[in-house]
C-alpha cells in the first residue's frame, strides 16, 4: 500500500530560533503584531508499507535517524493512504 507522509520538524522550545525572531520583527515592521514565530522544516515522503503501523514505524525510524536531530528538534507526521491507480 502506498502512503503519503507529511513530516513536520520543529525546533525544541528550549532552542533559540534567531531566524524566527528576525521574521517576527519583520512582521512587526509591517504592522503585523504576532506573539511568536518559530521556523521549522516540512518534508513530504511517499512510501510503501503493508499497513498504517508499518508505515508509522518506518517513518519514526527515518525521523529518529536522519530527518530530525533529537538534541534540538521534535517531529510529528501525518500519514495518508494514497489510492492505487485503477488499472483499466
Partner 1 sequence: MKFGILVFPGSNCDRDVATVTSGILKQPTRLIWHTDTDISDCDIVIVPGGFSYGDYLRCGAIARFAPVMRSLQEHVSKGKYAIGICNGFQILTESGLLQGALVRNRDLHFICDRAPLRVERNDLPFTQKYQKHQVITLPIAHGEGCYFADADTLKELEDNNQIVFRYCDAIGNVSEDSNPNGSLGNIAGICNKQGNVIGMMPHPERAAEEILGGTDGKALFEGLLEGLLVNA
Cell output for 29? 515592521
Q: Does 72 bind partner 1 (CB under 8 A)?
A: yes
Which window, 27-35, 47-55, 61-69, 78-86, contacts partner 1 (CB under 8 A)? 61-69
User: Binding pattern to partner 1, positions 4-43, x when CB under 8 A?
Assistant: ----------xxxxxx--x------------------x--
Q: Which of 79, 6, 9, 87 is nearest to 49 (CA)?
A: 79
**CB-side neighbour CA atoms (13 Å) of 69:** 5
Q: 3-class DSSP state for residue 3? A: strand
- Alpha helix (H) residue ranges in the chain: 18-29, 52-62
4 or 21: whose CB is closer to partner 1? 21
Residues making contact with partner 1 (CB under 8 A): 14-19, 22, 41, 66-67, 69, 71-72
Amino acid at each position: 500500500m502506498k502512503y503519503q507522509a507529511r513530516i513536520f520538524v520543529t525546533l525544541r522550545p528550549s532552542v533559540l530560533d534567531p531566524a524566527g525572531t528576525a521574521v517576527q520583527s519583520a512582521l512587526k515592521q509591517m504592522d503585523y503584531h504576532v506573539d511568536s514565530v518559530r521556523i521549522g522544516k516540512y518534508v513530504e515522503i511517499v512510501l510503501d508499507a503493508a499497513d498504517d503501523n508499518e508505515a508509522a514505524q518506518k517513518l519514526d525510524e527515518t525521523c529518529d535517524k536522519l530527518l530530525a536531530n533529537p538534541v534540538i528538534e521534535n517531529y510529528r507526521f501525518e500519514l495518508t493512504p494514497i489510492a492505487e491507480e485503477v488499472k483499466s
